[in-house]
Structure 1
Amino acid sequence: MEGDDPYLPPEIIRNILKRLPVKHLIRLQCVCKDWKYLLKLPSFIEEHLHHSTHQNPSILVDGLSPTDILQLYLLDTEMQLLEVHSASLIDLLRDATIVDSSNGLLCVRLSCSSHPILLWNPAMRRVRVVAKATNCFEDKYYKLGFGFCSIVNDYKILRISASNAQDWQGEVYSVKTGLWKKVECGTFDGVSIWCSSVVANGNIFWFGFKPNGESRVHLLVSYNLALEVFTLIPSPISFLKPIDLLLSRLTVYENKLAILSHYTIDFESSVIDLWVMEEETGTSDERWDWTKKYSISHPCWLVPRTIWRNNLVCYLDIVAFRRISANDGKNIVLVNLTTNEFKIVVIHKCGIGYPVLNYVESLVPVENDYTEEL
């Protein structure tokens, strides 16, 4: 109205703010005390995360820096490739690898450090140095898993000693309490785990195997983040040859555990199948049903990594890429699971063995020990 002071109801302001990128929200904390308070409310953080997850999901790619410093890139929904700013973290991120991404938080493993695990929110430019694990096992081949448990509203890091398949040792770190505690691993009769972990429906999963004479029995290892118990799941190996497992990948499809199985037709073509675990029933008659959702064939060698916005994300073999581009880097391919449309995203010297993860910007705090100036 003419003569009245400009006014927006608080609910409209809140609805506008939840749609903004994190870097803008951090600056807007200086506008007034009410906004600064709002942006730290758990309810607003959850609203912003929900909006970002559905409207602005990204994929995070390791760019394979020649200096062994973790160099990450984000590919957003507009197909823009953005470098993740980490200049002030160079000393911390040397020889580092990403364990997993969850709600905007990255779990980072350092190869040389007395405190080898970090939690990093790149959007907020904040890092938490995770307390050193209390268990004294010093297995350099230990496995890490990281994920959010909605039942207890907590982020957890699982650490397992994987060198001795007869005697597993493990401990779990709670971000909420800042403490490690021992977890009962049970007896797994020679089971070993390999590949990177993936989190689906509150469980961390790995591929696993155990010796069976001169061959191996393949399976899945599951860790429930709420109950903090392990389960062995028969792997759908009936449709996977052992050699194909080397390039197959665990992923998540429509919030369900899935496998991207990979096999080659010849040296220049490949087939990737998407299998989804549809059902799990408990008690003594546990059953896991797998359904093949897609089968994709292309006249070049693709290495599957993850699912993003109904796209299969793969690495493209360097020889195949040189036939269609002058760039000498390994690059990302997006294959639409509905239309089979094929897109290439150039990321110079992107390494085939390095992570490609789903990522979303968030205001989720890390209770930081270190804050980078904006």
Structure 2
Amino acid sequence: MESLPHEIVLNILSRLPIPSLVQSKLVCRPWRSLIRSLIHDPSFILQSNHPIQSQLYLGDFSSQNDGNYNMVTMKLPMPPLSRFTLASSCNGLLCLLDYHRSFEPCIYNPFTANFLELPHLTRHHNFQVLGFGFHPITKEYKLVEISYTIYTCGGSFGRLDPSPFKSDVHILTLGSSTWRHLGTVPYHVHSQQKSQARINGKLLHWVSWMKNRRSTIIISFDMETEKFHEIPLPDCCSSSNKPTEGFDQVVVIRGCLSAVRYGNDSEELEIWVMKEYGVKESWSKEFSIGAYVPKILLERDESEFLIYSRSYLHRKQTRVMCMLRSGELLLEYRNKALVVYDPHCKTFKDVQLTFEGIPTFFIVDVHVANLNWIDTLVDMAEN
């Protein structure tokens, strides 16, 4: 194949079905680049938790002739863990949490089956949020952990005491033998939030609560300086007295930091885009998405229908994954369904997932395949 002209190889690959294209991505880097130019949209890592536990898949989009979407998945080699959960993904490397080691993080490349256990970190808190990133200049991969304990006052469940509102921050550079303690910060990032936006390669972002603030804020962490900063918010959220009016999620849209918020009635989902990074005045509301119930949720028993009603689904149950090259948005509902939304026609299309045994629950993350070995990347960081 190396002796064939580029145009002929491209013509051959363009005739392959999507499952074969997905498998052919692993042949070599030139093929992967060619195939990505054919598929157009990003790949995804999916972790199935039921009925097959902790199984990893690579997913790629396929647009059908009738305009509908199909995501074809390929089962990936498993790490040497019996049970785990997908925490984050960066440059083809997965950050997994090991259930049997008190949710200790580890790094895994599913395309090389290369696995790296990380140094143990003694924790004194109940909740942890992980950020995984790569600095394009220093060539270092770093793992950031924000951990905290929720205190209650008066012994009543669910009533939070804001007085000890602080989190411990630890950081690990891949290749190092120890975690470093960066001190405490007055932020709480919800431990169940999978939303982490990476901008310019080195800046991680989360939605967070802060002491004496009723609304949420957006914080950033610089992988080079290892410092936190607050992102200026648009007027609709920066001075809000109602928690429901703050942002609930961050995402990258067209390379820009973007944030998701819900209307007071939870019937409309808004996406705001920061067109010029760090400039408050550049925030603009770009999308308004109405409530929608995917077909797979409508097929539940009638006794469960109230849970999946239109008004309930938008109460922090819908996650904006990314924008496709078509300009449509990929949405994820309750870890059970993927939907493509067309902002021009304001229409929804359920994505048909093709699995070996369709899971009833899954975790999904945008993913870019990488054939580098972890040891090589660690050596680069050490040098």
Q: Is TM (by shorter chain) over 0.5?
A: yes
Cα distance in 2 between the residues matched to 1:158 and 1:334: 32
Determine whether 1:75 maps to 2:60.
Answer: yes
For 2:291 and 2:359, how far apart are their aligned partners in 1?
Answer: 22
Q: Say whether 1:152 aligns with 2:138.
A: yes
Deviation at 1:362, TM superposition (A): 2.6
Contact kept? 1:49, 1:103, Cα under 8 Å: no
Q: Call closer, same or farther: CA 1:166–1:264 in 2, change over 3 Å.
A: closer
Partner of 2:154: none
CA contact (8 A) 2:245 2:262 kept: yes
Aligned partners of 1:367, 1:64: CA distance in 2, in Å? 29
Separation in structure 2 between the aligned mates of residue 287 and residue 245 of structure 1, nearest angstrom: 15
Tell whether the 8 Å contact from 2:97 to 2:103 is kept in structure 1 after alignment. no
Matched, 1:192 2:188: yes
Matched, 1:136 2:122: yes
Shift of 1:167: 5.2
Structure 1 position 210, deviation (Å) = 2.5
Q: Give the whole-Å Cα distance in 2 for the aligned partners of 1:109 and 1:233.
A: 29
Relative distance call for 1:22 and 1:67 in structure 2 (3 A) is closer
CA contact (8 A) 2:338 2:351 kept: yes
Is the contact made by 1:336 and 1:342 (CA closer than 8 Å) also made in structure 2? yes
| Letter in structure 2 aligned against 1:144 | L
Match of 2:261 in 1: 261
1:137 deviates by 2.6
Three-state SS of the structure 2 residue aligned to 1:238 is: helix
Q: Is the 8 A contact 1:100 1:198 kept in 2?
A: no
Q: Which amino acid aligns with 2:271?
A: L
Are residues 1:222 and 2:228 paired?
A: no
Match of 2:16 in 1: none
Change in Cα spacing, 1:168 to 1:296, as seen in structure 2 (3 Å) is closer
> 1:313 aligns to what?
330
TM-score by length of 2: 0.67
Q: CA contact under 8 A between 2:93 and 2:109: conserved in structure 1?
A: yes
Inter-partner Cα distance in structure 2 for 1:109 and 1:256: 29
Give the Cα–Cα distance (whole angstroms) in 1 for the partners of residues 78 and 363 of structure 2: 22
Give me the TM-score of the superposition, normalised by structure 1: 0.68
Residue correspondences, number: 315
**Alignment partner, residue 272 of structure 2:** 275
| Distance in 2 of aligned mates of 1:8 and 1:163 | 60
Question: What residue is the counterpart of 2:75 in the other structure?
Answer: 85
Give the counterpart letter for 2:286 in structure 1. Answer: K
**1:46-104 deviation digits (Å, cap 9, x = unpaired):** x9569848935223344332354245451324444334424644x6151x222222222
What does 1:1-374 align with in structure 2 at a 5 Å threshold?
8=3, 23-24=23-24, 52=36, 55-66=40-51, 68-72=53-57, 74-78=59-63, 79-86=69-76, 88-89=78-79, 92-94=81-83, 96-113=84-101, 116-122=104-110, 124-133=111-120, 135-163=121-149, 168-175=167-174, 177-185=175-183, 187-188=185-186, 191-194=187-190, 195-196=193-194, 197-201=196-200, 202-212=202-212, 216-236=214-234, 238-239=236-237, 242-243=243-244, 248-263=248-263, 265=265, 270-281=267-278, 287=280, 289-298=282-291, 300=293, 301=310, 303-309=318-324, 310-316=327-333, 330-347=336-353, 348-351=358-361, 355-367=363-375
Aligned CA distance change for structure 1 residues 360 and 125 (closer, same or farther; 3 Å): same
Tell me the CA shift for residue 261 of structure 1: 2.0
Q: In structure 2, what is the Cα distance between the partners aligned to 1:287 and 1:102?
A: 28
- Post-superposition offset of 1:337: 3.2
Structure 2: which amino acid aligns with 1:132?
Answer: P
Please state whether the residue corresponding to 1:76 is helix, strand or coil: strand
1:69–1:22 CA distance, 2 compared to 1 (3 A): closer
- Secondary structure in 2 matching 1:142: strand
User: What secondary structure, in the 3-state scheme, does the structure 1 residue paired with 2:371 have?
Assistant: coil
Tell me, in whole angstroms, the C-alpha distance in 2 between the residues paired with 1:288 and 1:100.
31
Question: Helix, strand or coil: the match of 1:64?
Answer: strand
Q: Is the 8 A contact 2:165 2:211 kept in 1?
A: no
How much does 1:114 deviate? 6.5
Deviation of 1:363 after TM superposition, in Å, equals: 1.6
Conserved 8 A contact 1:98-1:109: yes
Determine the C-alpha separation between the residues in 2 that align with 1:143 and 1:178: 20
CA–CA distance in 2 between the matches of 1:159 and 1:109? 12
- Structure 1 residues 341 and 59: alpha-carbon distance in aligned structure 2, compared to 1, 3 A threshold: farther
Distance 1:330 1:114 in 2: 26
